[in-house]
């Protein structure tokens, strides 16, 4: 899923650089083999701190960037949906909630401003409470993160990325209809 998510993100209009923050050595090797820049997550810091670590790395090279923090479990992500979301953000700190309405699939900083990630339980409400603008539009692939088998089935209806499709074909025990 991570490879499909990153591949779609890298092709989106307005994306200058993709940086994956991970502590998983296997994921790091796979990403680097595909030419994706990685940053080793500091031990036991958690998702929000890891996102801030990545944000600091990105802003060090260009302090005026709009940084996007995206979950890696968006295997049906369409580049066109992400491009449309970036345009709709108009440089504001904004977020897209998941299809259940409680989580956050992507959080954008305002240009040159702090991301302020608050991923976790009820993150959509928390991001809204911290002043992030809710973006909503015709981009179902951005709202479809995969946390459960049911989520994977919904993502399959949207059209999974090539790598996720291959994994599912290689593992017929995982039923997606």
Unique residue bearing structure tokens 């958690």: 46
Return mean pLDDT, the chain: 91
The pLDDT of residue 169: 83
Residue 91 has pLDDT above 60, yes or no: yes
**What's the rounded Cα separation, in Å, for the pair 177 and 21?**
32
Residue 70: enclosing H or E segment and its boundaries? strand 68-70
The pLDDT of residue 14: 87
Helix axis angle, 25-33 to 2-10, nearest 10°: 40
Contact predicate 19/37, CB 8 Å: yes
Q: Calculate the alpha carbon distances from 44 to 47, 48, 61, 158 in Å.
A: 9, 11, 26, 35
Q: What is residue 106's three-state secondary structure?
A: strand
Give residue 35's pLDDT band: very low, low, confident or very high (50, 70, 90): confident
Residue 94 has pLDDT above 60, yes or no: yes
List of domains in the chain: 2-170 (3.90.550.10)
Residue 172 has pLDDT above 70, yes or no: no
- Token couple for 65: 């960037």
**What's the rounded Cα separation, in Å, for the pair 14 and 95?**
16
Helix axis angle, 2-10 to 79-89, nearest 10°: 60
- Condensed to tens digits (0 to 9), the pLDDT of residues 125-147 reads 999 999 999 999 999 999 999 99
The pLDDT of residue 44: 63
Residue 42 has pLDDT above 80, yes or no: no
Question: What count of other Cβ atoms lies within 10 Å of the Cβ of residue 129?
Answer: 10
Contact predicate 85/91, CB 8 Å: no
């Amino acid at each position: 899923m991570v490879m499909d998510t990153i591949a779609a993100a890298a092709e989106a209009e307005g994306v200058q650089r993709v940086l994956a923050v991970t502590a998983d050595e296997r994921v790091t090797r796979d990403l680097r083999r595909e030419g994706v820049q990685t940053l080793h997550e500091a031990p036991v810091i958690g998702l929000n701190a890891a996102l801030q670590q990545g944000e600091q790395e990105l802003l060090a090279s260009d302090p005026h960037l709009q940084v996007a923090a995206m979950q890696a479990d968006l295997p049906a992500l369409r580049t066109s949906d992400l491009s449309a979301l970036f345009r709709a953000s108009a440089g504001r700190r904004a977020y897209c909630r998941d299809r259940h309405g409680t989580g956050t699939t992507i959080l954008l900083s305002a240009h040159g401003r702090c991301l302020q990630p608050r991923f976790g339980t009820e993150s959509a409400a928390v991001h809204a409470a911290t002043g992030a603008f809710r973006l909503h539009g015709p981009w179902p692939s951005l709202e479809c993160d995969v946390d459960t088998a049911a989520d994977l089935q919904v993502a399959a209806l949207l059209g999974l990325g090539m790598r996720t499709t291959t994994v599912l074909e290689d593992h017929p025990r995982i039923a997606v209809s």
